[in-house]
Structure 1
Amino acid sequence: MLIALNELQFYKNFDELARDILEMAKETMPDRLIYLTSFTKKEQTIVKLSETNDNICIHEGMVIEIKETVCNRIDFKNNTPLVFEDMSREANLDDLRQALVAANINSYLGIPIILSNGDTFGTLCAVHTHAKKISKKSITMLQRIAKLFSYYLDLERLAYRDSLTGLYNRQFLYKYFDESSTTGGALLFLDLDGFKKVNDLYGHETGDLVLREVALRLENFVQQHHGFAVRLGGDEFIINLVALTNREEISKLADFLLSRLSTWDTQLEAFNLSVSIGIVLYPSNEDNLLKILLKNADNALYRAKANGKNGYQFI
């Protein structure tokens, strides 16, 4: 599960530490532009630059399709740096040649930033307009700096993530609505139907496996849409769809979730698991009190349960 940019803004001293990381890397490779990036499955975002460089067309906040980035060639699975001392001579970069020329980059070092659980944050990169030698010592130093940064990310992440499922937790949800809910959207309150039977008959270990599988499906869902998933506790989950208030479109997404969370493999099929959903819309540019939204969504969820479960209701 990747760290989203809307999570980073809540991290304590993120900007200050990111600058320190870049300064340390800059001391190691003073003639290069150094930058931090973050990844989603679809995009790479330039998070911070060591300095402005008019000769290299990269800027903070820049978003690039993941397939069009050099960093996508990094072997994240094995946490291996990617080194190109002279990119003009690399035939396997021909599909990126136009983008590299536009950015005016010809020397590249990309260090993967991996969290302790194996998740990818992004990269620490050093680039130059000309072909340049890259020493093993420089690579080792940037790897150490990236590792220090990953330790910080791990510590901050613990505050906003559910330890069992890896989804966001209640603290993140409240923080988001206190500081960031100005675009409007839809809050979906999900509760698993039949989950108590899983714990009663098969034990909490099996129940935890079910919750992790549900979380994985919800995370995959929100990665395809503009939003995030939260585990409130037990078998209760929240999906917040940002800037989406069209009831017809939300209904289609709710139908998809019902289908996705009632279809299981042979091992879990016997549990007859499904989900009920309560949905509340909230407007943009207003003080949306989360307690009230959750109460309304919970009321809608109760009605969905009362109507026979495996369904959804709007408030």
Structure 2
Amino acid sequence: MRAVVFDAPGGPDVLHEASLEVPSPVLSEVLVRVVAAGVNPIDAKTRGGSGVFSALSLPATPGFDFSGVVVRAPYETHPFPPGTPVFGMAAFPRTGGTYAEYAVVPSLSLARRPASLSHVEAAGVPLAALTAWGLVVETAHAHEGQRMLIHAGAGGVGHFAVQLAAYFGAHVTTTGSARNAAWLRDLGASVVIDRESTRFEDVVGEVDVVIDLVGEASDRTGSRSLSVLRRGGLYVIVPSGSWPGYADAAAAAGLRATHYKVIPDGDALATVARLLESGSIRVFVDRVFDLADAAAAHAELERGHTRGKLVLRVSDD
């Protein structure tokens, strides 16, 4: 099968095509033919030598999420028989990633692809939407009247987080660029703060929850966020490596704090699928690259101006 691999950590140019054996599923795993694969910041971090690099055996095929078609199921009456259009997350880095024509996937990490979405659109959903679900629904418990600040609302995780928080009734404030302001309001944000011209702490007021998708490495976003939380409020950071001392800083300010890592839960993904089918939330794919152009996709991702998601087209539908 065609796949994209890297033999050593480095910049986007270390990614190259290779011919690999089709993987074989074991026990409850499903073999899927990958039609499209999502491109995520964790992919670029791992390729660069951080992220989940320490768990890899090189050469490695990156990629966590996908949309495709089941080729082989564990048994005849399995919920996802051969021919079923599915989307979900592979067990990368324990197994090969999704920048390949075939991948083995745990059954519990799958859901049926929403019929209203193409494979390219669906491939942009799993990791980003499940991260947003875990942040907004399972951790912050978004509800009517809650005041939530979401940093980087226009990104892959961010654009789902804004929509889910608004769907569950929270008053959403988000930071982003001026070019994305109208789009973010259309997604459900009540207030959009231009991060390039306005210090969010000067205008946001007091909030109950901060979801920080930026971290301390960029303009001290994390520590500045603590100043806008009410006493006892919740600070949730995703890039926790950028601020090892976040928990102590929050505790000293009388705040709760946690980091978050995505859980590849097929049941939660099926709920997300129903929200997508109903039009309650939507995915935005900014650009689509062919599998052979994975290096260009990573270079684009690392420029930091992506609206929504980047996706690789791996094979024909």
Structure holding more helix per residue: 1
The structure, 1 or 2, with the larger RCO (C-alpha pairs under 8 Å, 6+ apart) is 2
TM over 0.5: no
TM-score by length of 2: 0.29
